[in-house]
Amino acid sequence: MKKELWWKTSVIYQIYPRSFQDSNGDGVGDLKGIIERLDYLQWLGIEAVWLSPIYPSPMADFGYDISDYQDIHPLFGSLADFDELLEAVHSRGMKLILDFVPNHTSDKHPWFLESRSSRDNPKRDWYIWQDAAEDGGLPNNWLGVFGGSAWEWDEVTGQYYYHGFLKEQPDLNWRNPEVREAMLNTLRFWLDRGVDGFRVDVIWHMIKDAQLRDNPVNPDYTEYMPTYDRLLPVYSTDQPEVHEVIREMRELMDSYEERMMVGEVYLPVHRLMTYYGVDNKGAHLPFNFQLISLPWDAAVIAAAIDEYEGALPTDGWPNWVLGNHDRPRIVSRIGTEQARVAAMLLLTLRGTPTMYYGDEIGMRDIPIPFDEVQDPQGLNMPEKNLSRDPCRTPMQWDDSNNAGFSSGKPWLRIDQRYVRNNVELQRNDPDSILSLYRKLIALRQREPSLVLGVYTPVFADQQMIVYLRTYDGSASFLVALNLSHRPAYFRPVEGQYLGVVVVSTNTELEGTRVSGSLSLAGDEAVVVRLDRED
């Protein structure tokens, strides 16, 4: 395989640091705990690790409200611990990606404390301040993602400030060049330290309409949706000028060797593609969340894959995600057996796959009693059942106390079934989902067709998706996935697909010959190495 950029060939693994491994018994995961588990990630085949925020923060939104962009929260350790982690990651031939949260700071950040101190403070324009409307009401109708108005009244200075999320998370004014330079300097701080890339939080929120026009009402809103969805955020997000900001970030990345930027973007495919930027000078990987958001239906997903592949700009590199810290886990969405099929899909599609910690052992969402809910989204809208706590519970390492995560009381409940579902148990079981993930990752690493090869759709119906992965001079692979619980059949109309099953959700199929048609049981999937044509 020719030498390619690491972010094109790696499997990225997201760690939610609070929940991965606690090294000091305080019930919260930390950097030293991550260091302890790096050998596991290397064994699994992970080549890039992404950490959710670890910066100093009042933790109103668990680290996404940052009070200092150039340090480490004591809960997680110190800068010295971070440097040790970075060295340990690099010594294993792996890369480290940090979360970067540029849209908003904490209201305890020194910049905001200055900004709200007086109307004539030099940093006043670093945030978005606005007078009340003529009738004394809110400046406009914009809503906060976590509920209620996005405007907060400040008694001291007699103006409102804008916060797209919590009131403790005031939005920065990215139209101010001083803000841009200050934030680019925070990126330089970590790049100079040796960080390999950044996942940029809510990148499409960063610029707002200059006129602060009202958002239109969402005609499709129902009472079961989050209150934020009552309006279409056409003026508060995804403004054309955001691409100038992203281009500046990209120019900074490109001034270092092989650094990369992932952009968090929840937008339709045609809008998502604009975040690659003109001449591919935007985000290297605008996150593609279709496998998280779409119904688990073979025909729908097959069509979405084709639409995405067809929409990619020239030289734009695809990526796929099954889960993250904001959405229900894949097992809780589609069930344990289909989660294995989903793993096959994630790791055989063209592009960079991103995994969420614990999905490789089939962790599920855990019910958190109302009096234990910690997520602000859940606390602010309890009637909507929107807490993200259930998908953030501690990693299940073994059958010892607290699943090997901590010697103290964990910050969130652990799945009661951890004794029967943990890394140690699955590691030695060839039929486990962990073994399936490891086999698939190893196959990707060996086979150019699965990393760099062309994706060619072959067949799809209401149950099944079949596609080819091919690369000049290398073995070709046929991937067949049954996304239903009933038997499914593939009978080629043209040509023959002859080969050997190399990975399957059913290990008993591995090593068997395929000649012509395929018959798959419910919840079954296969990767077939095709015979070479001489």
Q: What is the rounded distance in angstroms from the CA atom of residue 378 to the CA atom of residue 427?
A: 34
> CA 122, CA 110: separation in Å to the nearest integer?
13
Q: Is 195 exposed, middle or buried (0-12, 13-18, 19+ CB in 10 A)?
A: buried
* Calpha distance 514→496 (Å, rounded): 10
Q: Is 264 a catalytic residue?
A: yes
Q: Do 487 and 519 meet the contact criterion of CB atoms below 8 Å apart?
A: yes
Q: Token pair for residue 530?
A: 């095709």
Phi-psi region of 181 (alpha: psi -120 to 50; beta: other; left: phi over 0): alpha
User: One-letter amino acid identity for 365?
Assistant: D
CB 67 within 8 A of CB 57: yes
Which one from 107, 196, 238, 264 is the annotated catalytic residue? Answer: 264
Distance CA 482, CA 526 (A): 9
Q: What is the DSSP string of 266-332?
A: -S-HHHHGGGG-GGG-S-SEE---HHHHS-S-HHHHHHHHHHHHHHPPTTPPPEEES--TTS--HHH
Q: Which of 81, 168, 196, 201 is catalytic?
A: 201
**Residue holding tokens 């055989």?**
348
What is the DSSP-derived secondary structure letter of residue 93?
T
- Active site (annotated) includes residue 201: yes
Q: Which of 322, 320, 318 is nearest to 453 (CA)?
A: 318
Radius of gyration for the alpha carbons in the chain, expressed in angstroms and rounded: 24
Rounded to whole angstroms, the Cα distance separating 141 from 418 reads 46
CA dist 91 to 36, 99, 196, 234, Å? 14, 21, 13, 45
DSSP three-state, residue 485: coil
Could you give the residue numbers annotated as active site?
Answer: 201, 264
